[in-house]
Amino acid sequence: MLQIKNLTKIYDGGVKALDNVSFEVPDGQFLAVIGLSGSGKSTLLRCINRLIEPTEGQIIWNGEDITAASQDEMRRIRRKIGMVFQHFNLVHRSKVITNVLAGRLGYVNPAWSLLNRFPKEDIEKALQQLKRVGIAEKAYQRADELSGGQQQRVGIARALMQDPKMVLADEPVASLDPVLAHSIMTHLEDINKNDGVSVLCSLHFLDLVHRYADRVVALNEGKLVFEGLPKDIDDKKFKEIYGRDAERVG
């Protein structure tokens, strides 16, 4: 169970990215986060693993207060939270397998990282994860030689290496075409349904929300404006979330 309580983030320039946001995510749920660009979706996801320090409020995950965790505790918390990014965020010049193995960095001893050594089991596991996302044959290519869809699958494999209990996906399909988008979303669904991992996924397209999400939260200018089932988003709610001039597409 992830509990977000009165979360507020004010950036240095005074921009209020999150304004008193509270909601809960039960374990194993696929939660979609929707809202316009700049509504605070990315900030919300990054506050959960504290890539961004929240200004106020609490995030409690299975009884542990993430916002109050020390640096050491944060390392142990983060390694249980996988993250998938819009721009994949792979290290381009490294091999695919190295990118996947990076998912184990929260577990391996930093001293051995100096020598670029991973345990044998991890390397086998990385190959398995690549097989699972269907690009086992690309393991020893450079990451930037892969297409966009393939790169995002590497990103998912990296998150899977962490043995995550929760995956944060920050617009994972926004840079991909619709066919690839469905293929990536299927992988996330697979992780959610078969491994029982909670997924928090920010999305732009409502048809993807209807197709994959169990529940939806919507943000507008940092405020939580909707929380409920995807089918409950009617035209009135839609205008509330996206503004009066918005038109439904897709």
Partner 1 sequence: MKNNKKASPWNSIKVGLFSLLAMVIFAYGFQITKVNLEELRSENRQESLVRVTRALAKPEIFEYEQVEEIVNFPIYVPCPTDGSQAPVPEHNATEPYIVLTPSCVNPGEIIEVEGFNFAPFTVGPLRFIPGSDVTNVVSLGRENAETDADGHFLVSMKIPDRTSDDVQYIRATLRRNVGSPHFTQTARDTWNKIVETVFLALLATVFGTVLAIPLSFIAARNLMKTVKSPLTSISLSVLGWPIGILIGFIAVRWVGNLSASIGSNAWVNLASILLSPILAWIGLRWALPQEEINRPSQTVRLERLGVILLVVLVSFYGLFQLASLAMSAGKNLEASLGSFSFLGYFLFQVGDIVAIITPALGALAAGGTLSSFLGRLGQQGSERLPVSGIKILNLILTTVAGATVLGLVGQLVEWLYQIGEPMYTLWGPMAVGAGLGLLLAILSKPKESLPIGMVIYSITRTFLNALRSVEALVMAIVFVIAVGIGPFAGVMALGLHTIVSLAKLYSEQVESILAGPLEAIEATGANRLQTIIYAVIPQIVPPYISYTMYRWDINVRMSTIIGFVGGGGIGFLLQQNINLLNYRAASAQMLAIAIVVATMDYISSALREKVI
Residues forming contacts to partner 1 in the complex (CB under 8 A) are: 49, 51, 70-72, 74-79, 81-83, 85, 87-94, 98, 102-114, 116-119, 122, 155, 158, 161-162, 168
Q: How far is the CB of 232 from partner 1 (least distance, A)?
A: 32
Q: How far is the CB of 163 from partner 1 (least distance, A)?
A: 9
Q: How far is the CB of 247 from partner 1 (least distance, A)?
A: 32
Q: How far is the CB of 246 from partner 1 (least distance, A)?
A: 29
Nearest residue to 98 (alpha-carbon basis) of 122, 132, 75? 122
Give the sign of the dihedral formed by CA 76, CA 79, CA 80, CA 85.
positive
Cβ-based nearer residue to partner 1, 37 or 116: 116
The residue written with tokens 């393939």 in the block is: 150
Cβ-based nearer residue to partner 1, 195 or 232: 195
The CB density around residue 93, as the number of other CB atoms within 10 Å, is 9
Residue 235 is encoded by which pair of tokens?
A: 């035209």
The CB density around residue 70, as the number of other CB atoms within 10 Å, is 7
Q: How far is the CB of 228 from partner 1 (least distance, A)?
A: 29
Name the burial class of residue 163, with classes exposed (0-12), middle (13-18) and buried (19+) by CB atoms within 10 angstroms of its CB. Answer: middle
Cβ-based nearer residue to partner 1, 61 or 118: 118
Angle, vertex CA 170, rays to CA 181 and CA 97, nearest 5: 75
Cβ-based nearer residue to partner 1, 60 or 69: 69
Name the burial class of residue 138, with classes exposed (0-12), middle (13-18) and buried (19+) by CB atoms within 10 angstroms of its CB. Answer: buried
Cβ-based nearer residue to partner 1, 59 or 77: 77
